[in-house]
Structure 1
């Protein structure tokens, strides 16, 4: 008995000594590590790495930029069942322990003694949080000790719910998803509130090993892990037996979901990305900024569709260039393919075949371009071709579905239409097909380029912008970066200058041959009209309506090149980038589509200059508005009184500059933003500045309405609106094709051309190549909207004139027509308005300082 007593005393002494040593060791460790432990108070104001999100003005997601996908949630936004799933999988006693679990640590220590390996284990949710925010993933003893002390500090600083909120938003769950909000979108395309019990358990099983238990990478292991989580949830009473059984039987429904883009505007999104990076640097991608742009989702969709349809129509007019690539298909595989189809599909119909991985792998190298899908011709005969699409879909193309595809010979020559499918398409050909409302047809990726931009003429807000056929095939933004010659679409600015200088729409100008001797034009220049005819004395209105080159040149000769250049600056054009010779009248300048739309906005809004802009507001990660656009706005007759509020001096918001590709525009200043570090606000409305008279804008709009009513833009009559005005533009050899047009609420410019300045081909004028794009967009954008036209301003009168002489009509004159004039500038029966060459100038006040009318 004495021996037993001695042994017990020794054991108690050893235990006490061990406890004392343990306490001293812990104290020593704390004193050693505590000074270098981070301040956990930072967790109270944590900022997650949240990607930059870009939205349309109506709140549709346009783009997301950032390495990490994260959708932070408040704790009350996370379903309790999802919280229980994580507790069951990671830390069932979370609400009971002080941040560390002695049982878990002993279990991890026993595993170390047993195996001799440092394995993951013993970490509570609080310890994982400490590691995720403050420590590395290196498995060292010192890191583990720091993790323990940090967990204790976190538990003192935060509530349990706060700790869980941080953890569930921070944890990495595979496939760039950080936090449960992002994981729900990545794996199931849903908000967390809509997840099933089985889906919640699948996500909760990921923290242990996001790669190993990933349902996309290893479904069997993921299913096993989900079963473990569900079992734990049932054992802990978090779910009922019925819920458990249903969840255990549920199939894996996870699939990779990309960002849910709701408005396709990649060119404008890139403009925003560059703008945000210039403001914030790398923080732009991590601080959770939300940028609301000025584009409208439906208008953007209509603009994209209009451009695609126009460029596809152009490429089909010029013939089929052949398959993108020719391959050889395995004979045995083709036999199996043929045996697998019970019958040939009807022409234009489709059939479903078995998935062929080898063919899917081949097609994976040919992604969709502008909505055109790649397909592999599997079989063809005289009547039709069977085309395999990725995923096992089979479509049948009949001869009618390729009727356009005569062989491309040159830009002006196309071979005869195909009479049999197998003469055009061979097995192994990789081709493009397009689906138009459920009907498949042969197509091809256009080599021609195009651009469309639409803006609100009252404040310059860009409502739609498409910089090319497919952003991912070519990131060159032709709306803002391509310098192109506008051709005759520049003439309205010359004619406006003439009206300002005393001309009237009824002034006669001689449409006759012009010979110009100018060393800058390489000697003698003999310009011609497009139709190569001469009309003699022609009213100014008809000169614009029929786009008569010779009339435009004589007008420019009369008003003077220097005068016209200074006047063009009123519309936003840089005179230094305009030609200082008579070719200015024919549109030989180099301008961007956005500059043209901005210039036309002056006519549309009654004579005011507005600056194009595309960012409406920037919202910070905390929800505060960091920037709100206050553009100069056309507000007459109800403009607010001038306010004395100072606008901080900051750099202008500029459009991005490209460093590669075709001719590039100088950055164009947009609406100046407020300083991001000031609380000052601008006036609710900042009045735009008038740059041309209301009468001038009205007369020009009237003349451009006639371009549509009876001139080169008359195809637009199909829109059945009387409020539309515009002008075509075509350059020498049909290199560029334009149409710019508007009503009082919307301005749109459409351009078509090759990036390398190849000719578009015979007869590919602005009316044929660009106007259909403009019409498709304007028809959709204005559908159901009332007509919007500029009212006749004061100082403008309408009288009848003789259409041949431009003089006032005599009473009862049968062929008299109405024309508009400035008060005091009516023609007289005995006044000759003809101008021959540059011999005379209409009576009027010269110079740019005269009163605007």
Structure 2
């Protein structure tokens, strides 16, 4: 008799069997899952290594900070050394359950998914601070499920290896805050010119608010949006009990002041210009560099105020853009404005734009004449003239008859300039212009005498500099010295590298200064006159009022100003004696009191006595940034003085919406 064995498992045996099967397959699945997603994970042993590019710090001539290009890093800060509300601000707005989750937050992920599905797009992320740290340390910005799972895996690993305080410290010392700043200390220094341990509640809220989008919520690009975001952070901090209602009210009522260096964006045109030169001089940086420049920040501030006030005043006249560049007698760039607003357009019109010079080119015609034996008193006749098939006309469409050359230049008489250029030879005029500093191509058609030549403001400043410094040619430059942070000098500008070449002798130099003084005293630039100073210069206006210029100078200091539109469309009867002269006068009225001003030198010997007109700035109540206030609207030179019609025939205009030089590098757009 056999036993009752049926071969069937008991219920307990079945449970144990299937539990084992599921467990084995689950283990196989988990091993496979982690094998798939762990493949390609970065080497976490390099956690403390920072892969950074060298930064370049730009200083003005007195050591004031202008800008920092490249990524800025600072020594890591200890969370315990910060006010308690600083790290708490990041936790409150970025990861309220930071101290309670294992690296990822299932509740936060579910909430974010629900809101994103409801909105039909991504409106919220579910990443914790630990996940953000893992992403910043080890992963690429790619958005896909594989990277998200890897992010969670690394976040769990970080939580197992470090304490919450250490993770928060790593996060705050590595995260990007915009403006090239990595870490809370670098961000604090760049945005507020202070150490992180000195941050106020409002400043901490602003920096924490940047985590949602460093560019979008930057106070540099949109102050109102940044303020709204900071207010949200303060609300979260109050709800989390990080700050009291009284602290929140105080933070909201007290304005947060962003670093003046970052807020002053016009200096960035100059920094852009010298930044290109640094690599040409020392090659690709391998360590942090400090570049000592020629720019004078108080004078730069005067230039910004002048350009801003006149462009705003004359917008109804069609003035949309402006450029200003100021050089001393050695060629050092002391101020540079490349456009009306750097935030709107980074194209540097002071350096890269090529616009017709109009009557501002006439001094080179008269220089060639003076060198050919003419004098300011040489009699000429203002009457209709035809050269080949070209008949220039005067701005007023009237003729003065017999006058002197001095009067012809002061009143910007087109007929006389055209005839004089034809008599002395347009080739000689072109050679004179090249000799004193014009580097652009100069055609020799008859209209060149009236400024049918495309030049940049920096060229015009260079070319007028010999009139201001005793006849010596200069080359504009912006870098005095380049050194490493350890003090090793990599480059230093030496005067003998350019040389002091006399390009205008006497009597032509004295004659030209006499005539150009008269332009300001009684001619087309009399709106630019400033009582008590020896000033000279020349206005310029092109056909249909597309460009307007004024280039003026005193002893050892020259400033060129241009206004117009990028699309080369006409302004509303804006002449060189109007908006440009007003900008020049506003700028120089604030700047001249800061200079060691002297009379315009009559030759090289006199120029040596002048020296550097900005060698010693006068003290002022405004301190480093006090450079004198721009005159009020009532003091701005009126736009009433006409300039002679240049009669120049413009070339084909750029396409609408393009910068002034169509062939310019599109990275400037």
Tell me the TM-score normalized by structure 2: 0.61
Paired residue secondary structure (2:380): strand
Question: 1:301 matched to which residue of 2?
Answer: 301
Question: 1:584 matched to which residue of 2?
Answer: 448
Paired residue secondary structure (2:538): strand
**1:741 Cα deviation from its structure 2 partner:** 1.0
Question: 1:516 matched to which residue of 2?
Answer: 386
**1:562 Cα deviation from its structure 2 partner:** 1.8
The one of 71, 74, 80 aligned to 2:76: 74
Structure 1: distance between partners of 2:88 and 2:158:
25
Q: Which runs of 5+ in 1 are unaligned?
A: 1-25, 95-100, 113-122, 231-243, 316-443, 640-685, 797-853
Paired residue secondary structure (2:365): helix
The one of 467, 490, 493 aligned to 2:364: 493
**1:65 Cα deviation from its structure 2 partner:** 8.1
The one of 564, 569, 594 aligned to 2:458: 594
User: Could you report, residue by residue, the CA deviation over 1:392-427 in whole angstroms, capped at 9, with x for unpaired residues?
Assistant: xxxxxxxxxxxxxxxxxxxxxxxxxxxxxxxxxxxx
Paired residue secondary structure (2:322): strand
User: Could you report, residue by residue, the CA deviation over 1:764-809 in whole angstroms, capped at 9, with x for unpaired residues?
Assistant: 643344323221211111125332235444899xxxxxxxxxxxxx
Is 1:741 aligned to residue 606 of structure 2? no
User: Could you report, residue by residue, the CA deviation over 1:186-225 in whole angstroms, capped at 9, with x for unpaired residues?
Assistant: 99997533335798699899999999xx995697896566
Structure 1: distance between partners of 2:167 and 2:603:
67
**1:289 Cα deviation from its structure 2 partner:** 8.1
Q: Is the 8 A contact 1:81 1:200 kept in 2?
A: no
Task: Compute the RMSD of aligned alpha carbons.
Answer: 6.0
User: Could you report, residue by residue, the CA deviation over 1:135-166 in whole angstroms, capped at 9, with x for unpaired residues?
Assistant: 499797766555566778x87xxx99998764
Per the alignment, do residues 290 and 261 of structure 1 end up closer, same or farther by CA in structure 2, a change over 3 Å counting? Answer: farther
Query: Which aligned pairs between 1:709-788 and structure 2 lie closer than 5 A?
Result: 709-722=521-534, 724-731=535-542, 736-753=547-564, 756-758=568-570, 760-761=572-573, 765-788=575-598
Question: 1:381 matched to which residue of 2?
Answer: none
Give 1 or 2 for the bigger CA radius of gyration: 1
Structure 1: distance between partners of 2:44 and 2:354:
55
- Higher-helix-fraction structure: 2
Structure 2: distance between partners of 1:452 and 1:206:
33
Q: Is the 8 A contact 1:579 1:589 kept in 2?
A: no
- Higher-strand-fraction structure: 1
Q: Is the 8 A contact 2:238 2:244 kept in 1?
A: no
Structure 1: distance between partners of 2:209 and 2:586:
51
Is 1:533 aligned to residue 533 of structure 2? no
Question: 2:514 matched to which residue of 1?
Answer: 702
Structure 2: distance between partners of 1:246 and 1:614:
51
Paired residue secondary structure (1:728): strand
Is 1:453 aligned to residue 324 of structure 2? yes
Tell me the TM-score normalized by structure 1: 0.49
Structure 1: distance between partners of 2:598 and 2:379:
32
Per the alignment, do residues 56 and 533 of structure 1 end up closer, same or farther by CA in structure 2, a change over 3 Å counting? Answer: same
Paired residue secondary structure (1:495): helix
Structure 1: distance between partners of 2:413 and 2:103:
93
Q: Is the 8 A contact 1:197 1:247 kept in 2?
A: no
Per the alignment, do residues 72 and 610 of structure 1 end up closer, same or farther by CA in structure 2, a change over 3 Å counting? Answer: same
Per the alignment, do residues 187 and 267 of structure 1 end up closer, same or farther by CA in structure 2, a change over 3 Å counting? Answer: closer
Structure 1: distance between partners of 2:77 and 2:84:
12
Q: Is the 8 A contact 1:593 1:751 kept in 2?
A: yes
Q: Is the 8 A contact 2:468 2:601 kept in 1?
A: no
Query: Which aligned pairs between 1:287-686 and structure 2 lie closer than 5 A?
Result: 294-311=294-311, 315=314, 446-471=317-342, 477-501=348-372, 503=373, 505=375, 508-511=378-381, 513=383, 515-519=385-389, 521=390, 532-535=399-402, 538=404, 540-574=405-439, 576-581=441-446, 583-614=447-478, 623=485, 630=492, 686=497
Q: Is the 8 A contact 2:513 2:536 kept in 1?
A: yes
Per the alignment, do residues 598 and 169 of structure 1 end up closer, same or farther by CA in structure 2, a change over 3 Å counting? Answer: same
Paired residue secondary structure (1:588): coil
Per the alignment, do residues 295 and 794 of structure 1 end up closer, same or farther by CA in structure 2, a change over 3 Å counting? Answer: closer
**1:598 Cα deviation from its structure 2 partner:** 1.7
Paired residue secondary structure (1:75): coil
User: Could you report, residue by residue, the CA deviation over 1:461-488 in whole angstroms, capped at 9, with x for unpaired residues?
Assistant: 3333334444556666543454433233
**1:599 Cα deviation from its structure 2 partner:** 0.9
